[in-house]
Amino acid sequence: MNKHVDVAPRMVFADRHGRIFDHPSLGMVCRNGWEFRRPEPEELIPLPKECELFLLPGRRALGWDSDRGRIEAGDWTAVAAFVSPGYTLSAVCAYETDPGAPVLPLFAYGAVGYARGRFWVCATRVDEDPRQRFEGISPKRIQAGARQWLKTFPDNRLVRHLADCALVSSCPAARNLALGRYEAPLPTSRSCNARCVGCLSLQPSDSGFPSTQNRIRFRPSSREIVEIMDHHGQCEPRAIFSFGQGCEGEPLTEAELIARAVHDFRASGGQGTVNVNTNAGLPETIPDLARAGMSSIRVSLNSAREAVYARYHRPQGYAFGDVRESIRKAKQGGLFVSLNYLFFPGISDRPADVVALTELVKAEQVDFIQLRNMNLDPELYLGLYRNASEERETGMGLQSMIRELRRQAPWIRFGYFNPYLE
């Protein structure tokens, strides 16, 4: 939890030249769902290292006028913070959108202010794991590592794909693979059985924004997958291997291939945590994966309420009941189960959503919750629920949600990354 900070940040904005300033008199304003408010002291932290500031085109910054006791908008461009991995936003950037403003790219847009010579954001650190920190690591080391992979496995298409992810897309998982550390990404699937609004690897031409990663265009062989697993396992003593990456579709559509690769890896003495990041829409595939030697699954969902879930994930040929069944089969097969809870302040923490999430965790004995930020234009996401009046319940706040879950399910652990399982 964040320590209480006695600070009152000022509004941050950009001028027409892109220069960022703090306002001399207006205070910071943030947004939770449909509510615009001033930040609470307990949710403010100094802007972490390796974060980025974004200018939001066609959006005017909002500030708090303490003399008039109201929110003011002016001719200032809004500025948001994209926080580094391990931190979950408790509020998003507050702004007023001009007509014709472009849809924002697939990032999370945290509220940011300025005080005491530094920037402040509304966020909580949920994971101390340093696996996606690259401070002090020379790009030349990553380039050399990727080139060595290509030299060692010149005929491995998956190696070529991941080298491109590391060198061109700057994918953190692929960069770690090049460095021989932490978690190895193993993309396998070209297709998906969901049409998530914020899909990172495939967007329709009329979405108004591009995907941030290029989806894999081939089906790797079991041999290509196992070569990467074997080699990475020799470099990293606490290796994690993960199917289901941002550059692919749904890995369970390639469950047979994954099971064969995992079986071969284990049969040759392969050690480490083997995980699949999934929408869990194909429960019939889970037992074979467990028997093959899978260690864990991570199930992505934005809500444990079926109606809320369906508006974002837009499942094709499966329902939320199948997701629950996959979790149940995973637990029956002895797998560690994480939820990748895509958190959006003011939506994910509404009492009804927290009750549904708590019920899921308790009923299925979920082990771990990864609190990942929802990467989507805030107004686009809120627009999915705008016409449902019953959805406009006020959120309880990120930290209150965590406390309630811990009270109801004291075994549950929270984090951001897939854990290594001893």
Q: Check residue 260 and report its DSSP letter.
A: H
User: Edge-to-edge strand order for the sheet containing 240-243?
Assistant: 183-185, 240-243, 273-278, 296-301, 336-343, 368-373, 413-415
Scanning the structure block, which residue is given the tokens 């959805």?
Answer: 391
The pLDDT of residue 207: 87
Residues 117 and 266 placed together within one structural domain of the fold? no
Residues 224 and 354 placed together within one structural domain of the fold? yes
Residues 288 and 410 placed together within one structural domain of the fold? yes
Q: Is residue 218 part of a domain?
A: yes
Helices (H), strands (E): how many in the chain? Answer: 11, 19
Residues 78 and 227 placed together within one structural domain of the fold? no
Nearest partner of 354 among 400, 321, 309, judged by Cα: 400
Both tokens of residue 213? 């990663």
Q: Which domain holds residue 43?
A: 10-125
Q: How many domains does the chain have?
A: 2
Give per-10-residue mean pLDDT for the chain (422 aa): 75 96 97 95 95 97 96 94 97 97 96 97 97 94 97 98 95 96 98 96 88 93 98 97 97 98 98 98 98 98 97 97 98 98 97 97 98 97 79 88 98 98 85
* Beta strands 240-243 and 35-37, pairing class: unpaired
Residues 72 and 184 placed together within one structural domain of the fold? no
Q: Is the distance from CB of 74 to CB of 61 less than 8 angstroms?
A: yes
Identify any residues that bridge with 183 across adjacent strands, giving them in sequence order: 240
Residues 225 and 360 placed together within one structural domain of the fold? yes
Residues 225 and 354 placed together within one structural domain of the fold? yes
CA distance 402 to 382: 22
The pLDDT of residue 389: 54
Residues 200 and 342 placed together within one structural domain of the fold? yes
Residues 381 and 243 placed together within one structural domain of the fold? yes
Q: Is residue 133 part of a domain?
A: no
Residues 58 and 162 placed together within one structural domain of the fold? no
Scanning the structure block, which residue is given the tokens 């996959």?
Answer: 326
CA distance 112 to 131: 25
Scanning the structure block, which residue is given the tokens 């964040």?
Answer: 2
Residues 234 and 299 placed together within one structural domain of the fold? yes
Q: Is residue 100 part of a domain?
A: yes
Residues 328 and 241 placed together within one structural domain of the fold? yes
CATH number at residue 180: 3.20.20.70
